[in-house]
Amino acid sequence: MLLAIAVRNLVRQRTRALLTLASVGIGVVSLILAAGFIDDILFQLREATIHSQLGHFEVFAPGYVDAGRREPLAHTLADSRAAIAAMRAIPGVATVAPRLSFSGLLSNGRADATVIIEGIDPGAEAAIGTAMTTIAGKSLEAASGPAVVVGEGVARSLKLRIGGTVTVLASTREGALNTMDAPLAGIFRSPFKDYDERAVRIKLRDAQDLVASDSVNSLAALLRPGASVDDAVSAAKRALPPDRYDIRPWWALADFYQGTASLYRRQFMVLLTIVATMVLLGVANSVNMSLHERQAEFGTVRALGYGAGAVFRQIIVESAVLGAAAALLGIVLGVMLAWAISAIGIDMPPPPNSDIGYQAAIRVSFSNIALAAAIGVFAAVIGALLPARRLSRMPIVAALRHAV
Asked if 217 and 70 sit in the same domain, the reply is: yes
Looking at residue 385, its pLDDT comes to: 78
- 251 belongs to a structural domain: no
Q: Per the domain annotation, does 57 fall within a domain?
A: no
383 vs 210: which has the higher pLDDT: 210
Confidence check: pLDDT of 7 > 60: no
For the chain, the domain total comes to 2
**pLDDT at residue 94, rounded to an integer:** 93
Q: Is the pLDDT score of 128 beyond 80?
A: yes
Tell whether 227 and 356 lie within a shared domain.
Answer: no
**Whether residues 188 and 85 fall in one domain:** yes
pLDDT of residue 20: 76
For residue 41, is pLDDT > 90? no
Examine the pLDDT at 207 and tell me if it is beyond 80: yes
Q: What is the structure's pLDDT at 97? A: 92
28, 176: one domain = no
Q: Within this chain, do residues 213 and 80 fall inside the same structural domain, yes or no?
A: yes
| pLDDT above 90: percentage of residues in the chain | 23
Which residues face 57 on adjacent strands? Answer: 221, 249
Render pLDDT for 150-177 as a digit per residue (tens, 0 to 9).
999 999 999 999 988 999 998 887 778 8
Phi, then psi, of 345 in degrees rounded to 5: 90, 150
CA distance 157 to 169: 17
pLDDT for 230 equals 92
Determine the Cα angle at 189 with ends 37 and 232, to 5°: 65
Domain-located, residue 81? yes
Residue 129 in domain: yes
Question: What's the pLDDT at 263?
Answer: 85
Whether the predicted pLDDT of 227 surpasses 80: yes
Query: What's the pLDDT score for residue 145?
Result: 85
**Quick one: 291 and 374 in the same domain?**
yes
The reported pLDDT for the residue numbered 223 is: 94
Yes or no: say if 380 and 20 are a contact pair by the CB < 8 Å rule: yes
The confidence score (pLDDT) of residue 4 equals 61
**Cβ–Cβ < 8 Å for 68, 59:** no
- Arithmetic mean of pLDDT, 180-207: 90
Q: How confident is the model at residue 15 (pLDDT cuts 50, 70, 90)?
A: low
Mean pLDDT (whole number) for 206-226: 90
* Domain boundary residue, one of 195, 223, 244: 244
**pLDDT at position 228:** 92
The answer to whether residue 249 is domain-embedded is no
Residue 286 lies in a domain: yes
pLDDT on residue 2: 55
- Domain identity same for 81 and 191: yes
- Residue 308: predicted pLDDT: 62
Are residues 44 and 71 located together in one domain of the fold? Answer: no
Q: What percent of the chain has pLDDT over 70?
A: 84
Mean pLDDT of the chain: 83
Whether 355 and 389 share a structural domain? yes
* Residues whose CB falls within 8 Å of the CB of residue 297, separated by 6 or more in sequence, listed in order: none
- What is the reported pLDDT for 297? 62
The three-state DSSP-derived secondary structure of the chain is CHHHHHHHHHHHCHHHHHHHHHHHHHHHHHHHHHHHHHHHHHHHHHHHHHHHHHCCEEEECCCHHHHHCCCHHHCCCCCHHHHHHHHHCCCCEEEEEEEEEEEEEEECCCCEEEEEEEEECHHHHHHHCCCCEEEEECCCCCCCCCCEEEEHHHHHHHCCCCCCEEEEEEECCCCCEEEEEEEEEEEEECCCHHHHCCEEEEEHHHHHHHCCCCCCCEEEEEECCCCCHHHHHHHHHHHCCCCCCEEEEHHHCCHHHHHHHHHHHHHHHHHHHHHHHHHHHHHHHHHHHHHHHCHHHHHHHHHCCCCHHHHHHHHHHHHHHHHHHHHHHHHHHHHHHHHHHHHHCEEECCCCCCCCCEEECCCCCHHHHHHHHHHHHHHHHHHHHHHHHHHHCCCHHHHHHHHC
Structural domain includes residue 33? yes
Single out the residue in 244, 276, 296 at which a domain terminates: 244
Task: Determine the structural domain holding residue 351 and report its residue range.
Answer: 2-49+257-403
- pLDDT per residue over 230-258, tens digit each? 999 999 999 988 888 899 999 988 888 88
Q: Where residue 19 falls among pLDDT bands split at 50, 70, 90?
A: confident
Residue 386 has pLDDT above 80, yes or no: no
The pLDDT value given to residue 301 = 60
In a domain, 55, yes or no: no
Q: What is the pLDDT of residues 306-361, one digit of tens each?
A: 666 666 777 778 778 888 888 899 999 999 999 999 888 888 877 776 777 778 88
Is the pLDDT higher at 101 or at 19? 101
Count other Cβ atoms within 10 Å, centred on residue 235. 19
Q: Are residues 79 and 167 in the same domain?
A: yes
Q: Is the model more confident about 58 or about 404? A: 58
Q: Is the pLDDT of residue 10 over 60?
A: no
